[in-house]
Every structure is written in C-alpha cells, then in structure tokens.
Chain A
Amino acid sequence: MAKVTFDEEYCKGCGLCVSVCPKKILEISKTKSNDKGYFVAQMTDQSQCIGCAFCATMCPDCVIKVEK
C-alpha cells in the first residue's frame, strides 16, 4: 500500500496530477482551498494507490510526496 501526501500550500490546482493518475483516485477539491485561494489536489481513495508517482512526476510545484 502506498501513501501520498500533499504539501497543499504549494498546490495551484492545475490538475496535471489528476490527469495522469492511472487509478483515477485524485481530484481537485471543490471546497478546500489553500491560503492563496487555489482549490487543492487531494486523494479520493488512498487504498487504491499503487505508488507509481505519476502524479508527483507531473506536478510542477513539488506538492506531492509518495511513499511505498
């Protein structure tokens, strides 16, 4: 089982992570935003995560840390 953590203050809600997640378990929150006012990326179902780090690879702002 893998673990993904988001350093949300760095997130800009661009959605690149969501677009590349093979398990489709990421989303841009509709309610939660950071201090800059960006709606942040978040995990919908951590249990499905395979730790491939595709999301982190495509993140321009080093928001995502992946452990496995």
Chain B
Amino acid sequence: MAVVFEKPKFLTDTPLHYCPGCTHGIAHRLVAEALEEIGAENVVGVAPVGCAVFAYNYFNCDMQQAAHGRAPAVAQGIKLVNPDNIVFAYQGDGDLASIGMAEIVHACARGANITIIFINNGIYGMTGGQMAPTTLLGQKATTCQNGRDPKVNGYPIRMCEMLATLDGPSFIARGSLADVKNVKKSKEYLVKAFKNQKEGKGLSFVELLSTCPTNWHLSPLKAIDYVKNEMTSYYPLGVYKDLED
C-alpha cells in the first residue's frame, strides 16, 4: 500500500494550539505541502502577532516572530540578506489589514520577492473576538456587539482586489478552506505563489478565507457554512493577478 496522504515534512510534531475546527491548521499544512512540492530548501518563515503567533513552533524551518503588522517588513529584511532563501510571512486579518496595512501595501508596491499568506477569518481571534477590518457588515464581534454598522465601523476591506491595483505583485489569489475542492484550489495557489518567488517574479499573495468557531460562537461545521456562504459572497474567490496572463 502506498501512502496517499500524510503529514508534510515542513511541519513539526508540535500539536497545534488552534481551537477545534479552526482552519488555520489546514492553512499551515497547505503551506508546508506547497513548500515541499516546489522543492524548497532554504526556507525562512515569519510569524505574525495573533492566533498564528506560535507558527514558529509549527513550521519546520528557520522562523522569525514579527511585531504586530510588521511581518512583510521583517520578511523583506530576511530576503535581502539571503536572496536565495524562500521567505514567507503568515498573517491574520488584524495583523495584515489593520495595523500592518502600510507594510503590506508597500511590500506589494515594491514587488518584494516574498510570499504572503493572509488568513482572513474576519475577527481578532487571539484577543477574544474583536472586530477586524474584514469583519462583515452585520457580523457581531466584541467591539461591535450589535453587528458591524458601516456608519460607525466602516466597511470590510477586500485585500486581493485592493492589492491587485498595484503593479509590484506577480500573483494574487483568494482561496477558501471551507471544503475539499477549495482547500485543493488553495494549495494550487500556494504552489504557484512559491514557484513565482523561486523564479524571482516578485511578491505573491494568497488570501485564505478561514473559520473562527470560538469567536463566531458557531460549531466547527456551522463556521464552515459561514465561510462558504457569507464570507465567500463578500470575498469572491479566484485569481486577481497573475503575471503570466
């Protein structure tokens, strides 16, 4: 019998601390599988501040843990010192789209040859469920307890569409972790992203819609539905930029 599916080598044996049904874990595995698929050798990852802050315990490669929002800047510093490394920054929506917005926009404008993995679960998980820049209108969070009201809290930000207006990035796509088809699609996007980096094409950006059962107060399966329905309708899946075409 041949092995059809097993844990990728770019993940350590440390059990993930994420909540049951949180799809951060799937994202971690896809990153590891994509790195393996492109035959990456010298890899450095950058962990954000947020639920994924402990990613430096999970990715089986050299890691740095960046200040909140600054992972793209840290990643650029790493990449320029060792340009042949494959460097990625793994960030959540608070880290990337809120405090780190300037960093991601300018990393894209620069076309820095790094890969950004952006986990969009529309909430601040680690700190207990506050509203994020990607929290949907009407969605409840601890800092918009009657549901996000655009008059008070503004509108959710679609990062792929926004960053696709910049000339620097070579690849921008949004995938979802809500079902098998889209998990496989997301892996393709990550392989493409890392391949672009390996070929020096410039910044690659993959956004992944992800669940947060605990802070959405939903069961894992209901959270999956929320991604499939509400999240995916506001954040359409697909490729937003591909230098090839």
Contact = CB atoms under 8 A, between A and B. Distances in A.
Q: Name, among B6, B221, B224, the residue most crowded by chain A CB atoms within 10 Å (CB to CB).
A: B6
Nearest to B27: A60
B147 interface: no
A64 B16 CA distance: 15
Interface string B186-226: 00000000000000000000000000010000001100100
A56 B21 contact: no
Q: Name, among B4, B26, B220, B221, the residue most crowded by chain A CB atoms within 10 Å (CB to CB).
A: B4
B5 A53 contact: yes
Nearest to B213: A14
A66 B3 CA distance: 6
Nearest to A68: B4
Q: Name, among A10, A12, A54, A67, the residue most crowded by chain B CB atoms within 10 Å (CB to CB).
A: A12
Contact of B7 (A13, A19, A38, A65): A65
A2 B180 contact: no
Interface in B1-54: 1-7, 11, 15-16, 18-26, 29
A44 interface: no
A3 to B, nearest CB: 6
B105 interface: no
Interface string B170-184: 000000000110011
Given A15-B21, A57-B183, A65 B3 contact: yes
B11 A62 contact: yes
A49 B34 CA distance: 26
A51 B144 CA distance: 45
A60 B24 contact: yes
Interface in A1-37: 2-3, 9-10, 12-16, 19-20
Contacts of A65: 3, 5-7
Contacts of B183: 57-58
A10 B15 contact: yes
4 closest A-B pairs by beta carbon, nearest first, are A60-B25, A12-B20, A14-B21, A14-B20
Interface of A: 2-3, 9-10, 12-16, 19-20, 38, 51, 53-54, 56-62, 64-68
Given A16-B221, A65-B5, 17 more contacts: A12-B21, A16-B21, A19-B221, A53-B4, A54-B180, A57-B180, A57-B183, A58-B26, A59-B26, A60-B18, A60-B23, A60-B29, A61-B25, A62-B6, A62-B11, A64-B5, A68-B2
10 contacts: A12-B20, A12-B21, A13-B20, A14-B213, A16-B220, A16-B224, A19-B221, A59-B25, A59-B26, A66-B3
